[in-house]
Homo-oligomer: A and B are copies of this chain.
Amino acid sequence: MPAGPLTSVGIGDDAAVVGAPSGSVVAAVDMLIEGRHFLRDWSSAYDVGVKAAARSLADIAAMGAVPTALLVAFAAPGTLSARWPADLADGLAYEAARAGAGVVGGDTARADSVVLSVTALGDLVGRSPVLRSGARPGDVVAVAGPLGHSAAGLALLSAGVGDRGTAPSGPLPAAPAAAQGAPATLVAAHLRPSPPYDAGPEAALLGATAMIDVSDGLVADLGHVAAASGVRLEIDSAALVTGGPLREAAAVLSELTPSGGTDRGDSPPALALSWVLTGGEDHSLVATFPASAVLPPRWRVIGEVRTGSGVTVDGEPHAGAGGWQHFR
């Protein structure tokens, strides 16, 4: 596996040695468990590798740090094909390389189902970490990367739209065979999230006061920032992107089932908005910046920081703060 530019000792000794030029290391661990975070019927091994790497690497970017390395613990049943771990490793290495990191260590074991634990390391490049606790009234709230795409992709898969059939693998993400257009894009976003890693250090350079990656849903994750910072975060729903592929997918689902693919009977626009506000696993980055910050176009302003507590959408507290539940 490619070990990354900062790796001096990779896989094969008791431990890896990875450069930490800033004199400190940023580290995060995330688990991915079969049946809870992914289904082998829907996700190829390569997909699972990409998703597992993305979850941990996005945590590093959300501190404003540059990812440097992954360590992977992997347990699986003995009945798994030999190809599965090899494809998984390819997916992990692909996503690590996309973030500029290498896979430097690992451990394997037997278990009744597939369990992955991925630890990501990163470097702050001499800057202070961007914590959840620095948002101040008057700051703006901005997001880099898509929102709701993974949730829409999961809804499509659950409704049988975009069933990928034979799971593809290989070095490049490919659209599922059975899906076309917007559904294909969204299913791919669910199976292989693509966080904008370099937006994390960029946000730190731009003076971000707080940052988090959207793993549990926009409202839920902004709730963590609001609580840590002691502020209220107000979201302007008109600033959220709910058209395009999301609206198209919501329309497809509403044609399939009277309830729009959900139990809530949402109209397509309401369904698209609910994906954006509560959908998890896009691992886009949401940050707060001083109002004076000049943000590049990929940072879309979606709200502002006010005094108070919690998260409000168009001035009303939002009920979706419970967070993303993966599969039921």
Q: How many copies does the complex hold?
A: 2
Of the stretches A109-117, A170-178, A235-243, the one at the interface is A109-117
Number of residues in A with C-beta < 8 Å to the partner?
60
Establish whether residues A27 and B71, one from each chain, have CB atoms under 8 Å apart when the complex forms.
yes
Hey, which chain B residues are within 8 Å of A131, CB to CB? 9, 13
- Give the CA-CA distance A28 to B71 in the complex, in Å: 7
Establish whether residues A25 and B113, one from each chain, have CB atoms under 8 Å apart when the complex forms.
no
- Give the CA-CA distance A15 to B121 in the complex, in Å: 9
A327 CB → nearest B CB, Å: 11
Hey, which chain B residues are within 8 Å of A72, CB to CB? 29
Query: A302: CB under 8 A from chain B?
Result: no
Hey, which chain B residues are within 8 Å of A17, CB to CB? 24-27, 63, 124, 129
Q: What string of 1s and 0s marks CB contacts (under 8 Å) between A63-106 and chain B?
A: 10100010111010000000000000000000000000000111
Establish whether residues A111 and B119, one from each chain, have CB atoms under 8 Å apart when the complex forms.
no
- With A13-B132, A129-B17 given, is the CB distance from A27 to B119 under 8 Å? yes
Which residues of A approach B to under 8 Å, CB–CB? 8-9, 12-31, 33, 36-37, 59-60, 62-63, 65, 69, 71-73, 75, 104-113, 115, 117, 119-122, 124, 129, 131-133, 211-213, 228
